[in-house]
Structure 1
Amino acid sequence: MTRLRHRPALDVRVEIRGELPREDAEYARARAQETAAILGPDAHGLRLRLTRVRERSVTRPALAQADVRLDGLGPLRVQLATGAVGEAVDLVLGTLAGRAVRLREQGDIGLAAVHESAYRPQYADRPLALRRIARLKEVVLARRTPEQAAHELLALDRRFHLFLDTRTGRDSLVHRCPLSGAVALRPADGDVLPAFDLAEAARRLWITGHPFVCHADPEGGRARVLYRRYDGHYGLITPVADGRCGAGVPSARN
């Protein structure tokens, strides 16, 4: 008698924000299942999130984000945008699988992830008077060395990563430099973050066009980050002490 071995269901979740044609949604689910099988048994919690941006100023409206957790290596995330949903699905899942291979074999995802991608999601051109803080994240910062934080920054495909420096005991931030793609640390040893209010932080975002502003809260003295969201609004990350909020991720979706 032949015994059939039970194969557990793959841990895959597809989230769709907004309206997409049925065939696009079915294609995304099928490709996510295929990618989960390729990633192997040490990959867990594959999530694919699809958003169709309606802003006319955005020329690549199909936004795809894929993330997964690899045993012994931690989370891995990719976020990209193209003109068509099917193309975005293929690109983000293929990039995720390629980076997983690199992470397993060499311990990092390589210089390709350091440089700004041609498929980086675009900011909606929202009028200044209509912008607001659309998301507030209170987080307990993870203790990391700058090297560990830089590794997480690239693995999570972020522009910046806020953490508590184990060497100095200070709130610190690693970020990608816009032109060189290199990873920089703020504050550097001996430096102090400038302190100003949120109105001044928003003014600096507007004047410089930078994706974020890291500064010290003039009241509490802790570092916080005001950043641009892709919908044209702002997000704010504020560190809190243990016990004041639930376990948070010490970075922003940016």
Structure 2
Amino acid sequence: MTRLRHRPTLDVRVEIRGELPREDAEYARAQALDTAAGLGPCARALRIRLTRTRARTVTRPALAQADVDLAGAGPVRVQLAAVTAREAVDLTLGTLAGRAVRLREQGDIGLAAVHESAYRPQYAARPLAERRIARRKEVVLAHRTPEQAARELLALDRRFHLFVDATTGRDSLVHRCPLSGALECGAAGADPAGPLDLPEAARRLWLTGAPFVCHTDPGDGRARVLYRRYDGHYGLITPVADRR
């Protein structure tokens, strides 16, 4: 006898960016509903975003990002790329479900998420003269221990994570090493050359080929991160004071 899985009542949303058939959006929603059903009542909301890049230098043009908020465990995010949209959906939702279960049951998603996935999205090649800061994000940094920040970085599938060290009170950064994928943590913006303005930070980003440059804002002395976006442009994260 086939047992029907209960469809969840939580909000499931699918966002499409770029040129993708309607059938791919319907497939993504159906798969998201199945995934949400397996997450149980602790799942509050599930979002999946599908993007297809037109950059010819990218061999896996379909990008899927899935986010879910788990009661008592916090948010989980996965972002992976594949040749087709359906493959990207399957990879991303399958990975999200596995990490969500480990986070809910063990409080940690485990070391399997430390390594760089073979399906991590690729950077589109863009001429230097065309690059710009396409997104600026101001954030209130949370106070965390390095261990807590590392767990959040893995759960959110990020390359880096800015936070305020709960012991020292300093802006700090935990990040993945580009080659090994191992995690490193330390005071953010600690650079022997001192504070950097944005043009110099962008120059370093270009010269090193690194995914991001963490540096000190010459104006307020806070750490900030200039990072590469997958569309070939840059993004900027700037800490701000909590105004509450």
**What does the per-residue CA deviation read over 1:54-109, in whole Å, with 9 as the maximum and x for residues that have no partner?**
11111100000001011111000000000001101111000001111221232211
Alignment of 1:1-254 (within 5 A): 9-187=9-187, 192-193=190-191, 194-243=194-243
Residue correspondences, number: 237
Asked if the contact 1:153–1:159 (Cα under 8 Å) also holds between the matched residues in 2, the reply is: yes
Give the C-alpha shift of residue 25 in structure 1: 1.2
Deviations 1:147-200 (A, max 9, x none): 111110000000000011111111111001122221111328xx9443111111
Secondary structure of the residue aligned to 1:221 is coil
Deviation at 1:8, TM superposition (A): 6.6
Q: Aligned in 2, Cα 1:139/1:15: closer, same or farther, shift over 3 Å?
A: same
Tell me, in whole angstroms, the C-alpha distance in 2 between the residues paired with 1:94 and 1:9. 20
SS in structure 2 of the partner of residue 27 of structure 1: helix
**Corresponding letter in the other structure for 1:186:** G
Secondary structure at the residue paired with 1:135?
A: strand
CA contact (8 A) 1:10 1:33 kept: no
Could you tell me how far apart the structure 2 residues matched to 1:168 and 1:110 are? 27
Partner letter of residue 127 of structure 1?
P
Deviation of residue 10 (structure 1)? 3.0
Cα separation, 2, equivalents of 1:215 and 1:22: 43
What amino acid is the match of 2:24? D
SS in 1 for 2:31: helix
Matches of 2:39 and 2:9 in 1, distance apart? 14
* Per-residue deviation, residues 128-147 of structure 1 (Å, max 9, x unmatched): 01000010111111111111
2:159/2:175 contact within 8 Å kept = yes
Give 2:180's aligned amino acid: S
Q: CA RMSD in A?
A: 1.7
Partners of 2:23 and 2:122 lie apart in 1 by 25
Q: Contact between 2:8 and 2:37, CA under 8 Å: does it hold in 1?
A: no
Contact 2:8–2:33 at 8 Å: present in 1 too?
no
- Do the aligned partners of 2:123 and 2:231 also contact (CA within 8 Å) in 1? yes
Unmatched segments (≥5 aa) in structure 2: 1-6
- 5+ residue gaps, structure 1, are 1-6, 245-254
The question of whether the paired residues in 2 share the 8 Å contact of 1:216 and 1:222 is answered with yes
CA distance in 1, matches of 2:155, 2:229: 20
Which of structure 1's runs of 4+ aligned residues deviate more than 6 A? none
CA contact (8 A) 2:10 2:43 kept: no
2:136 alignment partner, SS class: strand
1:175-232 deviations in Å (ceiling 9; x for gaps) = 01122221111328xx944311111111111111000000001121110000000000
- Match for 1:32: what amino acid? A
